[in-house]
Homo-oligomer: A and B are copies of this chain.
Amino acid sequence: MSPKVSDAYKEERRQSILDVALRCFAEKGYGSTTVDDIAAGLGVSKGVVYLYFAGKEELYKQVMEERMQQSITGMKKRFRPEDGAENKLRQVFHAFRNQSLPELKRLLAFYLEFWLESSRREDLKAVMDRQSTYAEDFIASIVEEGIRSGEFRPDADPADFSALFWATRDGIALQFVGGGEDADYRKRMEAMERTLLGSLLQSGK
């Protein structure tokens, strides 16, 4: 009566499909990725993918939904209660800066393509918006915390800062998707950290 395979096993498999799918979508693009590519990457048959996801598009959405939030959630978890807002922000910059460039390119290629596609298809748009909101809230809430604690300028606008933060990150990303050196990327991210963080810290103190 009990299921032959445990829920844990199922979840594990589900995650591994998402992993492989992200990699495939990023490297070949959504249109050029076949369900067989993903199954082959997992070493299983096509049928398995359909056992866990309703279809290719559904899989695409869920990669965005889960994998993109995962990096943010990962950061959140690493925050300790005693970390201040500035410290948290620095951890965020640090995390972005120290991603390996190949992996970053993968994530960004996936992300940019999803963005593009979402501007064309309503159902993807909803996923994208949810994702954007989650990301914006993440940064905005740190800023709010910093304002409350007096670490950041009281006149800083959490929403504006957050928008600027992601716009800059995306802009830089764009430059490096096509190719670029690891060192250049880190330098660019440091400049971003200096500029953005500088605009938040109390100027007069």
Contact = CB atoms under 8 A, between A and B. Distances in A.
A173 to B, nearest CB: 9
Contacts of A128: 178
B177 A167 contact: no
Interface string A150-183: 0000000000000100011011101101110000
The complex is assembled from copies of this chain, and their number is 4
A174 to B, nearest CB: 5
Contacts of A175: 163, 167, 170
Contacts of A29: 31, 116-117, 120
Interface in A86-140: 105, 109, 112-113, 115-120, 125, 128
B178 A115 contact: yes
A177 B31 contact: no
A76 interface: no
Interface of A: 27-29, 31-32, 105, 109, 112-113, 115-120, 125, 128, 163, 167-168, 170-172, 174-175, 177-179
Q: Which 5 A-B pairs have the closest CB atoms?
A: A171-B171, A31-B31, A119-B178, A170-B174, A167-B175
